[in-house]
Chains A and B, each alone.
Chain A
Amino acid sequence: MIYELIIKILFILLKIVAIVGPLIIAVAYLTFMERKIIGYMQVRIGPNRVGPKGLLQPFADTIKLLLKEIILPTNANKFLFLIAPVLSIGPAIAAWAVIPFWADSQNVPVALTNIDASLLYILALTSIGVYGVIIAGWASNSKYAFLGAMRSAAQIVSYEIAMGFALVGVLMAAHSINLGQIVQQQAGGIWHWFWLPLLPLFVIYLVSGVAETNRAPFDVAEGESEIVAGFHVEYSGVTFAVFFLAEYANIILISMLTALMFMGGWLSPFEGIPVLEKAFAWVPGIAWLLAKTAFFMFCFLWFRATFPRYRYDQIMRLGWKVFIPITIIWLLLLGAAIVAKIPPWFSGQ
């Protein structure tokens, strides 16, 4: 009995390592890709010194950050100052517990825990990630950090509403709040995926995701030219690295969620097309999911290289006065479409 329990716990721990390990490697190489891609977009070369073609650059960066000293600002609240990075990385990693990666031979989604309310769970966890930012800004005892935290809090709270409404559209279309079932509802090739019937919600979700992770062009929380580096000005060494890790883990999470909810997750895009379906049948589901995720991650970097930073009042206007009305109107239209059973998306329900 005890023996079985230990084996079970060890197995779960192994699964967690199997998810978090690749995630951290992906974060390291996402930072590298970011510098390379933005470099190429701006006609530069990007990092190319450490290792072949600069491929060992992320390790050099990590080792440098780990060896640096952690500096506590005077009069900073020591406990809160040190726990803030933990509070931002915790939810960013915990949300991965419910992400399904592929379906096994019985068409059951494979995830660490396949809970019923997984969409709500993710929404709840992404919303508590903001505490890391707020507490970091307040505990640093610095005006720049405080301003960054305030901006970030206002921004995240306002975009969360639009994001939540976009998710309501997804769960209405899928008739489920389980991520695995949402993907299975999209079966039947590229035209059956939810990006088409939910096009406005798809765009809003992606843009809100960019705003929620405080990435350019919505990166006023860090706004180098105005408030130095925002909420993490006072952080150095490992504590800064943890904030960095959380931000990039969130980017990958949002990209993967977009792929799962609007782009058919692990389903092949050639389903239902006679020749291509057979030709690509050997590709495992996770490869499709990772390819789609990689595309959205590339979009994040692309946005950063392309758009200038939004003005603060424009960010708030976009969130409250543009996105929320559009999502509400689309939800009404979607309800009508579901009642009318418009094929091919809503005919089978």
Chain B
Amino acid sequence: MLLMSALMVVSARNTIHSALFLVLAFFTCAALWILLRAEFLAIALVLVYVGAVMVLFLFVVMMLNLNTDLLREGFIRHLPLGILIAIAIVAEMFLALNSGGFRMLDQAALKAVDVPGYSNTRALGSVLYTKYLYAFEIAAVILLLAMVSAITLTMRRLKGTRHQNPAKQVKVMRADRLRIVKMQAEPKGDSND
């Protein structure tokens, strides 16, 4: 299911459809995590990727109104390169998962999970904020850096744009906007001529 929806992300004709297939892929991924009894990671995945990131993705894709024909032209031309990258990633993941760390984790983790009253969220929190605090904080700072740099790259103050000052709008008094003018009343009979 995950692989199928991932395939549809790249092959769907409509960009909106491929974004929605990506949502489906995230959901199936979350389901896999639930099966591995990592409920915190599953919920966090749905919360962050499905709930926030993909909404913004859809937002942008819908706003841009992409020309689908133009996008499809490059598909065959770039296919060999794509396959090459895919093979490289699969090989890397295979090597990483086959190395010692993950195998050892496999057996020990499964035993730890079987204890009644085990809470995945609590366990993750206690490890993240003690043993891996340094790595955790570095990751947070890198994300902050990425955010700040993205904003500085795109933020341009155009000359001549107008800004509203909410404080000023709130403080406005009647006297600033309204002027009562005293006038002589028109003499009767003249107005309806």
Contacts and interface: CB of A to CB of B under 8 A. Distances in A.
A116 B121 contact: yes
A160 B52 CA distance: 9
A317 B166 contact: yes
A127 B164 CA distance: 31
B139 interface: no
B40 A127 contact: no
A121 B43 contact: yes
Interface string B4-21: 000000000000100010
Given A124-B51, A127-B47, A127-B51, A116 B62 contact: no
A116 B51 contact: no
B58 interface: yes
Overall SS of chain B's interface: helix
Contacts of B59: 134, 150, 153-154
B39 A138 contact: no
B126 interface: no
A313 B55 contact: no
A157 B119 contact: no
A130 B122 CA distance: 29
Contacts of A149: 62
A116 B39 contact: yes
Interface string A139-169: 0000000100110011011001000000000
Contact of B119 (A116, A130, A146): A116
Overall SS of chain A's interface: helix
A199 interface: no
Nearest to A134: B58
Contacts of A313: 164
Contact of B121 (A128, A150, A177, A317): A177
Nearest to A322: B166
Contact of A120 (B16, B43, B62): B43
B56 interface: yes
A124 B62 contact: no
Interface centre among B40, B43, B63 (most CB of A within 10 A): B43
Given A116-B39, A117-B39, A157 B164 contact: no
Interface of B: 16, 20, 23, 39-40, 43-44, 46-47, 50-52, 55-56, 58-59, 62-63, 119-122, 164, 166
Given A116-B121, A117-B40, A153-B59, 17 more contacts: A115-B39, A116-B39, A116-B119, A117-B120, A120-B47, A121-B43, A123-B51, A124-B43, A124-B46, A124-B47, A127-B47, A127-B51, A128-B51, A150-B59, A156-B55, A157-B55, A314-B166
Interface of A: 80, 115-117, 120-121, 123-124, 127-128, 130-131, 134-135, 138, 146, 149-150, 153-154, 156-157, 160, 177, 313-314, 317
